[in-house]
Structure 1
């Protein structure tokens, strides 16, 4: 057991076990948790007795609902720069997971949002279940997809990642496989077998074989059927043009996507689209994380981020007052400062 039991660390044979242990908060990440994970992974990378790592969440609700946005709200209102320090360490952990020398298996069961995506979707072996609900919903609170979210979503087939980012949509298990956010589907009732089956694992090939033996078909991916109108609409060069294309489509799903866009922060939508296009060109995780840190820092000092958190989790009125309130009122200079 570790400090305050926010994370449980254990060894099972050659398997290192990391269990996020804040189930009442859907295992939302704290700086302490980031540091414990970083230390454990650093130690295990140098330990010949550890052959693989398993990351999972306590409870049934999900792996991780993201970072502690109430703490970020309080910091933003008081001018405290602490969230920037948190993001730096969190993003470094995301990169460590992506570059790890040993197999990391991440169980993306239940709710996996924001920071939860960062500690799982960069792993070498990513498992979803019938209960998986994965999202990067940051535009809904005046923020941008971070923790390498721009990298992940920009690499999804066609414009599926752009659609998910700008609508703050959730992906079920089959859609996660389609998007490239996960590698295989394992039914929830088989998850308890993972520690025993991985206990002697010492290579990526062995990890793949264990996971394949437990896997099953995930079923059809709803986004696959929507790929035509999604690619046509989101290939546009601006959020205004995307909205116009969606408005001109007869598909009811396209109209629903347009309604979602209209609810979100105009500045966040524009910055997110710019970040996704830049991520596509950057082509690697590390520079995308550096870009996201600049944008996240700018969000912290802006209006929409604290206002979005207020409306979602402080007052819970679900009625944020964005500024600017309209896409056409967001100028190029306002977007550019998020990348300065």
Structure 2
């Protein structure tokens, strides 16, 4: 949404410009929920380069055009087509996207993002690695990849593994969307600002002194922030930690089944509807991420795993069911958890022949 109506933005699928001391990046594909493409990732990188070199810019603001959300993720139809064709476009996109995620995490200027509406997959990548992550009344955040035969990527294994207790394990396995309070509780966002106050906050950011830093940006955000509406994580935290603390998906499912709780029943059902292969690969990635020293290590591991996912039947079946035929009835192969053994999971951890960062 265009919060700064007086700013002249240039570009196509990504618009960018400057108002006062604020650099603005606006994702501009609202008809497809601002789904990211390789040219969009490149345009974001160019804008970040330009703003970083401009001494008159104090901070950057990332938003999305349209009423439905910031960004629904990567353009998975292109992944599907590229994987089928074996033309390398999917790998090129992921390489550029993951490097952008790392760049955002270490950006030298305050990076503010309005996480309105649908913020999923790649949308989390352009937001939750930022320095000032703002959720609102409409936020629906998720890493839904296990539902399309994929796994949480964009550095999400790093974020999920560092969520308090087992909140990240639940998020990664079930793929369920969460609201503002739970996004803050899980460490994916910082503050809640009502949607009605975002335009005023954006205007205030344009008045920052050029030499302002994170503290000055935080002060403006704090002035606009309010307590978030109540979520589910605090109330169910003990159950979540108790059930999702195991290192096999089968144990997690059994623990949830033993609970007399509507919440446990719901999240168990959501989890077991996902690709059995994706569930086991995701849990292994999350546990490996807990032992990792930094985001780049996790991104490197995720990138290596994508080389295997493009040769996995569930990836194509999940996208077929979700966006090609839209029957919402994927037929997973293997169809059960007990059929997914180490011989299926281990190839996802083979190092990539062309690493991201070395």
Structure-1-length-normalised TM-score: 0.98
Superposition pairs of residues 265-304 of structure 1, within 5 angstroms: 265-304=275-314
How far 1:261 moved relative to its partner?
A: 1.8
Question: Secondary structure of 1:282's match?
Answer: coil
Equivalent residue in structure 2 for 1:166, among 168, 173, 176 = 173
| Segments ≥4 residues shifted beyond 4 Å | none
CA distance in 2, matches of 1:126, 1:161: 17
How far 1:237 moved relative to its partner?
A: 1.4
Number of residue equivalences:
339
Query: Which position in structure 2 is the counterpart of 1:23?
Result: 30
CA distance in 2, matches of 1:213, 1:279: 35
CA distance in 1, matches of 2:289, 2:164: 14
How far 1:228 moved relative to its partner?
A: 1.2
Equivalent residue in structure 1 for 2:255, among 245, 255, 275 = 245
Question: Secondary structure of 2:163's match?
Answer: coil
- Give me the CA root mean square deviation: 1.0
How far 1:307 moved relative to its partner?
A: 0.7
Verify the 8 A CA contact 1:150 1:279 in the aligned structure 2.
yes
Query: Which position in structure 1 is the counterpart of 2:149?
Result: 142
CA distance in 1, matches of 2:77, 2:296: 27
Q: Deviations over 1:106-152 (max 9, x none)?
A: 11000000000000000000000000000000000000000011111
Query: Which position in structure 1 is the counterpart of 2:110?
Result: 103
What stretches of structure 2 of length at least 5 have no aligned partner?
Answer: 1-8, 351-358
Query: Which position in structure 2 is the counterpart of 1:85?
Result: 92
Q: Deviations over 1:204-234 (max 9, x none)?
A: 0110011111111103221111111111111
How far 1:195 moved relative to its partner?
A: 2.8
Superposition pairs of residues 196-235 of structure 1, within 5 angstroms: 196-201=203-208, 202-235=212-245
Query: Which position in structure 1 is the counterpart of 2:135?
Result: 128
How far 1:180 moved relative to its partner?
A: 0.5
CA distance in 2, matches of 1:318, 1:195: 39
Verify the 8 A CA contact 2:314 2:332 in the aligned structure 1.
yes
Equivalent residue in structure 2 for 1:331, among 327, 332, 341 = 341
Instruction: Please state which structure has a larger fraction of its residues in helix.
Output: 1
CA distance in 1, matches of 2:270, 2:225: 34
Query: Which position in structure 2 is the counterpart of 1:11?
Result: 18
How far 1:2 moved relative to its partner?
A: 4.3
Moved more, 78-87 or 61-70: 78-87
Structure-2-length-normalised TM-score: 0.93
Equivalent residue in structure 1 for 2:69, among 53, 62, 70 = 62
Verify the 8 A CA contact 1:12 1:195 in the aligned structure 2.
no
Are 2:60 and 1:50 equivalent residues in the alignment? no
Verify the 8 A CA contact 2:30 2:65 in the aligned structure 1.
yes
What stretches of structure 1 of length at least 5 have no aligned partner?
Answer: none
Q: Deviations over 1:239-296 (max 9, x none)?
A: 1111111111111211111111221100100000000011111041110000110112
Q: Deviations over 1:296-337 (max 9, x none)?
A: 221112111011000011001111111111100011121010
Verify the 8 A CA contact 1:51 1:200 in the aligned structure 2.
no
Verify the 8 A CA contact 2:41 2:97 in the aligned structure 1.
yes
